Structure 1
């Protein structure tokens, strides 16, 4: 069995031809379409525990290393004339194509195999995921007071009921 690499004759993902990756021959290395990358192509390395995405954006080389457990699952997406098997991440730019075919039976067996190998759930086609919410950025003002004091309301100093004037103070010493 030959390795599936970018130079072994396997068609790049999204090239219009059928993409069939073998889940039993991990690790895999292949090219996929990426609209933001230089040249419109990114390299993907699939391992059992991690995925490495390599691309260049405006001349800057980058490699993104993502654990397989960080992915949501394996989904089946419909295209115009075929269906695509995708490894789905919260961030849509990290989604990875695993296979494209018009044969429904072939895709269902591949869907099951990829799901078992990565120990991820099979996601239904119609369930669309929203992108992850943006993280709150560090607020410089919040650092001035402890968190529980920020949540507390400040006392009202102008309320005359809280003012005690002209009274003797009792202090216990010892």
Structure 2
């Protein structure tokens, strides 16, 4: 496990403590006096990427929620950043992403099996022949009893 402090604009004092394990990441921070601990599984992170910052190049563990992204290394040397990115990617079993983006989702097929079905609105309604089923008897004699 690795433990270090990182900057956090929302936290009190602008700092949060990060504990990094192979299976999980634990974030400790205080927001407006309320202390909180956030546990996130490593598998929920998208991958490892490089971002340009004011201090130089930062190696970041990227999450779908930008407030959960974790800076792993800040350096000016691009070679050092590439080597560290490869190492962190192997240790955490996450992919390396180019330019902080992930691959686009594959396009959906236009001819899917659901397209021929009734819409959900119509599925809630009964079809017309079931609303008032009239009893029809054919080929029988009708008996009417009168008072």
State the alpha-carbon separation in 1 of the partners of residues 100 and 44 from structure 2: 21
Q: Which runs of 5+ in 2 are unaligned?
A: 104-119, 139-147
State the alpha-carbon separation in 2 of the partners of residues 34 and 52 from structure 1: 14
Deviation at 1:156, TM superposition (A): 6.0
Corresponding position of 2:75: 101
Deviation at 1:78, TM superposition (A): 1.4
Deviation at 1:50, TM superposition (A): 1.0
Equivalent in 5, 15, 20 of residue 41 of structure 1: 15
State the alpha-carbon separation in 1 of the partners of residues 41 and 132 from structure 2: 60
Deviation at 1:164, TM superposition (A): 5.5
State the alpha-carbon separation in 2 of the partners of residues 53 and 164 from structure 1: 64
Q: What is the CA RMSD across the aligned residues, in angstroms?
A: 2.9
1:128-147 to structure 2, matched below 5 A, reads: none
Deviation at 1:31, TM superposition (A): 1.1
- Contact kept, 8 Å, 1:74 with 1:115, in 2: the verdict is yes
1:44-83 to structure 2, matched below 5 A, reads: 44-80=18-54, 82-83=56-57
3-state SS of paired residue (2:89): helix
Structure 1 pair 57–155 and aligned structure 2 pair: CA distance change class (3 A): same
Q: Which runs of 4+ in 1 moved over 6 A?
A: none
Q: Does 1:155 align with 2:129?
A: no
- Contact kept, 8 Å, 1:78 with 1:125, in 2: the verdict is no
Deviation at 1:79, TM superposition (A): 2.1
Q: How many residues align?
A: 123
Corresponding position of 2:137: 168
Q: Which runs of 5+ in 1 are unaligned?
A: 1-26, 130-148, 170-174
- Contact kept, 8 Å, 2:49 with 2:100, in 1: the verdict is no
State the alpha-carbon separation in 1 of the partners of residues 135 and 45 from structure 2: 68
